[in-house]
Amino acid sequence: ALMLLFIAAAAVLCFGPWYDTRATLVLTSLFKLVGLLIAFITAFMVFSRLDSGDPQRRPWVLMAVGLLLYACGQSVLAVYQVFLHVRIPFPSVGDPLFVISYPLVIWALFWFCLISIRSGLPLGKPLVFWSPALVVLAFFAAGCYPLLAPIVGSGDA
């Protein structure tokens, strides 16, 4: 409910009658940063409340660290967008933080899946269980060329 309220407030402020390009850029940058920090705090709280022998403890700490690194990368971009009034530079100091965060979050998500499989719960056939990940992978593969071709073809550094 809190996240839906957060998204609704962002949508009203960014696309409502008060729309302004500069204000929208600032608000969306700050909303992303606040959302990532809330996600990090939540993941860390879950990690800290699990027993030391719980198999889900390690993936939760991976998730928390990944979200924190992503929030740090987003904070670098927020400084550029909010305070320096500069479009997002590439490469930037935040890029290594983003790159390091992705494998941690992805590994945590797959680790959760493996823990679920090993739990003994009746989760259905493996193809049905892994189908959401396969669908995301298919969309990613289909979107790679349209997203990356202009960047590669631009000739920029």
pLDDT tens digits, residue range 63-89?
999 999 999 999 988 888 778 877 777
Q: Of 39-43, 55-59, 122-126, which gets the smallest average pLDDT?
A: 122-126
Q: Which pTM does this prediction carry? A: 0.75
Q: Helix, strand, coil proportions of the chain in percent (round to 5)?
A: 80, 0, 20
Residues 119-128 pLDDT 10s: 888 888 888 8
Q: Which of 58-62, 64-68, 100-104, 125-129 has the lowest mean pLDDT?
A: 125-129
Q: Is the pLDDT of residue 157 over 70?
A: no
Q: What percent of the chain has pLDDT over 70?
A: 94
DSSP letter string, 104-152: HHHHHHHHHHHHHHHTT-----HHHHHHHHHHHHHHHHHHHHHHHHHHH
Q: What is the mean pLDDT of residues 46-61?
A: 94
Higher pLDDT, 93 or 48: 48
- C-alpha 101: how far from its chain's center? 9
Q: Rounded to whole angstroms, how far apart are CA atoms 26 and 14?
A: 10
User: For the residues 25-46, what does the mean pLDDT come to?
Assistant: 88
